[in-house]
Amino acid sequence: PKISFRNINDEALSHFMSEERISYKDIIEKIKPELEKVVNFLNRELQKIRAERASPSLVENISVGYFGKIYSLKQLAAISIPQPREILIQPWDKSYIEEIVKSLEKSSIGASPIVDKALIRITLPPLSEEFRNDLIRLVIEKQEQVKKTIRKWRDEAWKEIQEAFRESKLSEDDKYKGKDELEDLIKEFQEKIEEIVQKKKKEIEG
């Protein structure tokens, strides 16, 4: 039988084009880990902001220098809350006490550490209305910061979807499906952020 090189070339081109096509779902999946990082960042930042009640998260990630290395406080001590406004720190070794105290004094917890033999006590003063409002403003600033980052990732993904469509790697139907799914994903993470922020505001308000 006569072989048609035209048909062979058409088939090869068709196969090549099918390999080049991409899924909008893959583009959206790529940004999910980045959005999770944004939420985790917000959680860590808000843990550093004190509330009406004491919490280990207020001090546990404070950096402490010891013999040329940097440790988080929770690596060097046990942290407990014996009273609603009291933080009790019990270093694993007495030699850590001096450096821990220095780091606590440099931090923004709003209270001075007191050394009691092998323990370090921190008593948080009641929040004044003015200080409470300042803390809430700080929470809102952190929220705006992460919302901006989420919008950046949304724009990056949408740009990639549009480029794939222009390069015929994505159908028009898939382009708009991708847009809808992307907006749903962004909405999901925006709601997570709002939930975290509202919870922190309630903690500050007491």
Q: What is the pLDDT of residues 114-123, one digit of tens each?
A: 998 899 999 8
Instruction: Tell me the pLDDT tens digit for each residue of 35-70.
Output: 999 999 999 888 878 777 788 888 888 889 888 899
Q: Which tokens in the block code for residue 187? A: 């909405």
Same domain, 148 and 91: no
Least confident of 12-26, 80-94, 128-142: 12-26
- Which residues touch 32 (CB under 8 Å, ≥6 apart)? 185
Mean pLDDT of the chain: 86
Give the pLDDT score at 188.
96
The answer to whether the CB of 36 falls within 8 A of the CB of 44 is no
**35 Cβ contact list (under 8 Å, min separation 6):** 150, 153, 185, 186, 189
**pLDDT confidence tier of residue 154, bands split at 50, 70 and 90:** very high
Bridge partners, residue 192, by sequence: none
Residue 12 domain-assigned (yes or no): no
Domain that holds residue 133: 22-47+129-205
Same domain assignment for residues 167 and 151:
yes
Do both 96 and 197 map to the same domain? Answer: no
For residue 77, give the CATH number of its domain.
3.30.1360.40
Same structural domain for residues 133 and 39? yes
CATH code of the domain covering residue 162: 1.10.132.20
| Entry pTM | 0.69
Determine contact, residues 74/86, Cβ cutoff 8 Å.
no
Q: Which of 103, 123, 143 is the last residue of a domain?
A: 123
**Nearest-CA neighbor of 67 among 93, 96, 94, 90?**
96
Query: What does the alpha-carbon distance between residue 158 and residue 28 come to, in Å, rounded to a whole number?
Result: 9
Long-range contacts of 113-116 (CB under 8 A, 24+ apart): 113/89
Answer yes or no: do 87 and 184 share one domain.
Answer: no
What is the pLDDT, as a whole number, of residue 20? 67
Q: Note whether residue 2 is domain-resident.
A: no
State mean pLDDT over 91-102: 92
| Lowest mean pLDDT segment, chosen from 113-117, 161-165, 189-193, 202-206 | 202-206
Q: Which two tokens stand for residue 113?
A: 């550490």
- Which pLDDT score, from 0 to 100, does residue 173 have? 92
What residue type is 131 in one-letter code? F
Among 76, 96, 123, identify where a domain stops.
Answer: 123
Token couple for 195: 């939930």
Q: In what helix (H) or strand (E) does residue 72 lie, and over which residues does it extend?
A: strand 69-72
Same domain, 84 and 180: no
**3 state SS of 111:** coil
Q: Residue 94: which pLDDT band, with cuts at 50, 70 and 90?
A: very high
What's the average model confidence in pLDDT over 144-154?
Answer: 95
Whether residue 201 sits in one domain with residue 133? yes
Number of domain units in the chain: 2
Strands 86-91 and 119-123: antiparallel
Q: Are residues 69 and 42 in the same domain?
A: no
Reported as a single tens digit per residue, the pLDDT across 3-26 is: 444 444 554 444 444 446 788 899
Residue with tokens 């809430």: 136
